[in-house]
Amino acid sequence: MANTTKKSTKVWSGRFESGPSELMEAFSRSIDVDRHMWQQDILVNKAWAEALCEIGIFTADEARSVQAGLDQIAAEFEHDAFEFLPDDEDIHVAIERRLTELTGEAGARIHTGRSRNDQVATDARLFLKQHVDIWCQKLAALQNSLIELAKANLGIVMPGYTHLQQAQPILLSHYLLAIFWGVDRTLSRLDDYFERLDVMPLGNGALAGAAFPVDRQKLAARLGFARISNNSIDTTGDRDFCAELLFIIGSFFSHVSRVCAELQWWSSNDIAFVEFSDQYATGSSMMPQKKNPDAMELIRGKSAAAIAAANQILILQKGLPLTYNRDLQEDKPVTFHQLREASISTEIFEQALKTASFNKDKMAAAIDPNTLATDAADYLVRKNVPFRQAHEIAGKLVRLAIERKVALSALSLQDFRSVSPVFDDDVFAALTVEASLAQRNIAGGTGPDAVKNQLAEASARAAKYDKNAFLR
C-alpha cells in the first residue's frame, strides 16, 4: 500500500508522471488542521476574485458566478455538507477544487497571481486575529472578576509568604490584584503583538510578488487588515506572528501556573484558605472524602506544552532558508491548539476563582504573630535606631518569644526593654496586623488605602481592554 502510485489529479500534477504514494499523500496532508480556516479562506477567495475582476482576469459574469460559488461552498461548510476528496491536500486546494466544479473555467482562473504561500499566511493571520480577540475578551473578563473579588474581599487579612515561609501580613485583595497585573501584562503584550499580526501577505505570490497589478491596499481594506506587508520574500516565510503569540501564551501559562500552585496549596485541608466550588473541583475514585483542586492542577499541567510550544515554533523556523518551506505547515497545529488551550484555561481559571470561597477566619488565624517582627524593627527606626541595629534587636525578641512559646506582642514591656531601652508602651499598638498594614499605604503596597487606590487603577486599566475595545 505504501508504494501505490496513480496518475495524479492534483493542482500541481502537470510535471509529474505519477502521483505520490498514499503514504506520502497522507503524510503531507494538512486538511485536519487547516479546515478550521475555511471561513478565512472563503473571505480571501472572495476578495481576491474581486481584485482579479478589477484587472480584467474575470468578466463581470464570471466574477458573479465565482462569488455565488463561494457563497455556496460557505453554506456547505456551515451545514457540514462539504465533501473533502482524497486529493484535497489542504483547505486552499479543497475550496479551489470545489469552486471549479461549481463554476468551471471561472473557478480555474481564481489562482491567477496567487500562491498557497501567500494565501496560507493571509488565512492564518485572519484566523488568529479573530481567535486572539476571543482570548482577549476572556482575559478581560478574568480581570473584571479579579477586580470584583478584590472589592468583595476588602479587609480580609492573611499571611504573605516568601520562600513559602510566612513573611508579613497582607490583604487578600492585594494578592488577588497581583494576579490582575500579570493578566494585564499579557493583554498589553497581545495589544502590541496585534499590530504586527494585522499585516496582509496576499499579493506576495509564491515569493516574488504577484505578476498582476492587483490593488493590495484595497484588498487589505476589504479583508480588514491595517497594513500590507513590505517584502514578499520576508512575508511568505515569516512565522513571527505564531512565535510571538506562543511566547505570550507561554508567559501567560507560566504566570498562571504559579497562582495555580499556590491555590492548590491554599485548598489543602491543612491550610484551608480556599474551597473551590463543586463545579470546579473533582473527586477521587477511591477515597470518598476527597475534593481535589484539579482545575488548578490541569492548568498548571497544560503550561508544560504551552511553554514547550514557544520553543518549538522558534526551532521550526531556525535555519530555514528564507521564503516558504514546507516545514512551515507545522506552524498551525501547535499555534491553533495552544491558543485554544489558553482561551479555555483562562475561562476555567476565572470561573474557578469566581465560584471559590475564601475562608477569612482561617486566613486571619494563620498569621504567625512573629511576622510582625519587621514592624518591631520599623518601630525602632522611627525612634531613630539605625535599621541594621533595629533588625538585630527585633531578631533577639523573636528568639525570646519562641523560647517562651508566646507571640512577639505577648512579651512584657520589661522584656522589650531588656533588649532595647528605646521601647515604650506604644510598641504594643505597633505590633498588630492592622497597624502593620496601615504602615504600608505606600503606592503599590498592601495598606488598605493603597489597595483601594490600586483597585481604582486596575478598574481604569480593565476598561481599556474590556469587550470589543481590543480589536481596532
Residues assigned a catalytic role: 163, 284
**116 lies in the binding site for ligand ARG (CB under 6 A):** yes
Of 70, 73, 95, 120, which one interacts with ligand ARG (CB under 6 A)? Answer: 120
d(CA 121, CA 127) in angstroms, rounded, equals: 10
**What is the nearest approach in angstroms of ligand ARG to the Cβ of residue 328?**
5
**What is the nearest approach in angstroms of ligand ARG to the Cβ of residue 246?**
17
**90 lies in the binding site for ligand ARG (CB under 6 A):** yes
Measured from the CB atom, the residue of 90 and 244 that comes closer to ligand ARG is 90
Q: List, in order, residues 6 or more apart from 177 with CB less than 8 Å away.
A: 146, 147, 150, 451, 454, 455, 458
Q: Grid coordinates in use for 396?
A: 533577639
**What is the nearest approach in angstroms of ligand ARG to the Cβ of residue 36?**
12
**What is the nearest approach in angstroms of ligand ARG to the Cβ of residue 29?**
8
**324 lies in the binding site for ligand ARG (CB under 6 A):** yes
User: By CB under 6 A, which span of 324-332, 382-390, 428-436, 446-454 interacts with ligand ARG?
Assistant: 324-332
User: By CB under 6 A, which span of 212-220, 261-269, 320-328, 388-396 interacts with ligand ARG?
Assistant: 320-328
d(CA 265, CA 259) in angstroms, rounded, equals: 10
d(CA 121, CA 239) in angstroms, rounded, equals: 8
Q: List, in order, residues 6 or more apart from 375 with CB less than 8 Å away.
A: 430, 431, 435, 436, 439
User: By CB under 6 A, which span of 55-63, 328-336, 361-369, 388-396 interacts with ligand ARG?
Assistant: 328-336
Degrees (nearest 5) of the Cα angle 70, 74, 78?
170
User: By CB under 6 A, which span of 17-25, 112-120, 377-385, 420-428 interacts with ligand ARG?
Assistant: 112-120
Q: Do the beta carbons of residue 214 and residue 54 sit within 8 Å?
A: yes
Give the chain's length.
Answer: 472
Number of residues that bind ligand ARG (CB under 6 A): 11
**328 lies in the binding site for ligand ARG (CB under 6 A):** yes
Query: Binding string, 329-348, against ligand ARG, x = CB under 6 A?
Result: x--x----------------
d(CA 4, CA 280) in angstroms, rounded, equals: 51
**What is the nearest approach in angstroms of ligand ARG to the Cβ of residue 74?**
20
3-state secondary structure of 199: strand
Degrees (nearest 5) of the Cα angle 351, 301, 138?
30
Residue type, 214: V
**What is the nearest approach in angstroms of ligand ARG to the Cβ of residue 471?**
25
Among 78, 85, 91, 79, which residue's Cα sits nearest to residue 44? 91
d(CA 112, CA 55) in angstroms, rounded, equals: 11
Q: Which residues bind ligand ARG (CB under 6 A)?
A: 30, 34, 90, 116-117, 120, 324, 326, 328-329, 332
